[in-house]
Amino acid sequence: MYSFETKIRVRYGETDQMSFVYYGVYAQYYEVGRVELLRSLGVTYKELEEMGFALPVVNMNITYKKPAFYDDHLTIKTTIKEFPSAKITFHYEIFNEKGDLLNVGEVVLVFVNKETGKPCFAPEIVMNKLKEKLG
SS3 labels along 61-119:
EEEECCCCECCCEEEEEEEECCCCCCEEEEEEEEECCCCCEEEEEEEEEECEECCCCEE
Predicted TM-score (pTM) of the model is: 0.94
Active site residue 72: no
Determine the topology of domain 2-130 in CATH: Thiol Ester Dehydrase; Chain A (3.10.129)
Helices 124-134 and 25-41 pack at an angle, to 10 degrees, of: 80
What's residue 50's pLDDT?
Answer: 95
Q: Which residues of the chain have pLDDT under 70?
A: 135
Q: In what order do the strands lie in the sheet with 101-110?
A: 2-9, 73-80, 87-95, 101-110, 57-64
pLDDT at 18: 84
Q: Where are the domains of the chain?
A: 2-130
| Model pLDDT, residue 56 | 97
Per-residue pLDDT at 135: 65
